[in-house]
Structure 1
C-alpha cells in the first residue's frame, strides 16, 4: 500500500505537461527507460504500470504514444488510430469519454497532462472503417 500512496502523491504533485503529437510519440513503449503515455480526447495518461499490455509487443501497444480516441469506440485498429471523432454517433462519443474516465479513475494509471492535437481538416475524408464489409469486386470476364 505504501507504494500506491507514493504513486498517488507523486501524481497529485506533478504539474501537467503539454506535449505535441511528435513528443507524445516518444513515449510509445519502445524505449524501456521511458514511461508509456497514451491520450484520449487530448488528455495524456501514464500507463507505464501496464507495460506488459502497452509496451512494445503488448496487446494494446497500438494505443501508446498517440491519441487514438476513435479506435476506442470503433475497435478499428488499422485506420482509426486517430483523434478524429467526426462522423461518430453520440453513443460512440460517450464510449470514448467512458475510456477517458477509465484512465482518470484507474488505480495504477494517471493523468499527466494534455497533447496539442493537430486540427482535422473538415474537408478531409472521414477515416474508413476497417470493420465495414468490403464490397465484392466485379467478376472478371
Structure 2
C-alpha cells in the first residue's frame, strides 16, 4: 500500500493531521511556566509535602491536674478530653485521652461541649448532659461511673468509638 492509496480514503486523510500533531507534541513538548515539571526541591519537586508537619504527641498518662491546662481557652492551644472505655465485664478498662483540637468549634471555650475540654467527659457523654455537675472536681478522685445505667454505658461506648475514629488518641487518664 502506498501513501497515495492510503490517503485516498477520506477518513485516513482526516486522521493524518491529528497523528502528525500528536507526534510533534511528543517530540517537541513545550511546558507553560505554570505546568513546567519541577526538577529540584526549591522548584517544588516535593509539592505533596504539607507546609508544616503537625505537632507529634507521644502517648502519655495524664492526671486530672495535667489534663486540665488543655482546656483550649488560649487561642491556638491544644484541646484534650478523656472518655472512659468500659470492658465487657462492665468495669472501666481505661480513660482514653483524645486530642480534639481539630474540633475547636465543639470543644473550644465557645463550643457546645466546651466544659469537657481538659477534663474527663465520661459522665457527661454517657448522660448526654453538658451541665457542670457532670464533671468531677479536680481535687476529687476519678468518677467510678458505677451508677450509670446500661443505656448510659452504651451511649458512652458509642462516644468512645466515635472519638476513636475521628480524633487522635494521645494518652490515658489515671489517678
For 1:33 and 1:20, locate their aligned partners in 2 and report how far apart those are by CA, in whole Å: 23
Which residue does the alignment assign to 2:134? 80
Give SS of 1:105's match. helix
Per-residue CA deviation, residues 38-76 of structure 1 (Å, 9 max, x unaligned), is: 000111000000112211122110110000201112123
Report if aligned partners of 2:115, 2:132 keep a CA contact under 8 Å in 1: no
Superposition map of 1:1-141 within 5 A: 14-41=57-84, 42-76=95-129, 77-82=131-136, 83-106=143-166, 109-117=167-175
TM-score by length of 1: 0.68
Give SS of 1:88's match. coil
For 1:40 and 1:78, locate their aligned partners in 2 and report how far apart those are by CA, in whole Å: 16
For 1:78 and 1:67, locate their aligned partners in 2 and report how far apart those are by CA, in whole Å: 12
Pairwise CA distance, 1:111: 0.5
Bigger Cα Rg: 2
Give SS of 1:18's match. strand
Pairwise CA distance, 1:114: 0.7
For 1:36 and 1:65, locate their aligned partners in 2 and report how far apart those are by CA, in whole Å: 7
For 1:16 and 1:52, locate their aligned partners in 2 and report how far apart those are by CA, in whole Å: 24
Query: Which range is displaced more, 77-86 or 24-33?
Result: 77-86
For 1:92 and 1:52, locate their aligned partners in 2 and report how far apart those are by CA, in whole Å: 25
Paired residues in the alignment total 109
Instruction: Flag structure 2 segments of 5+ consecutive residues without an equivalent.
Output: 1-47, 85-94, 137-142
Give SS of 2:115's match. helix
Pairwise CA distance, 1:81: 2.0
Instruction: Flag structure 1 segments of 5+ consecutive residues without an equivalent.
Output: 118-141
TM-score by length of 2: 0.55
Give SS of 1:58's match. coil
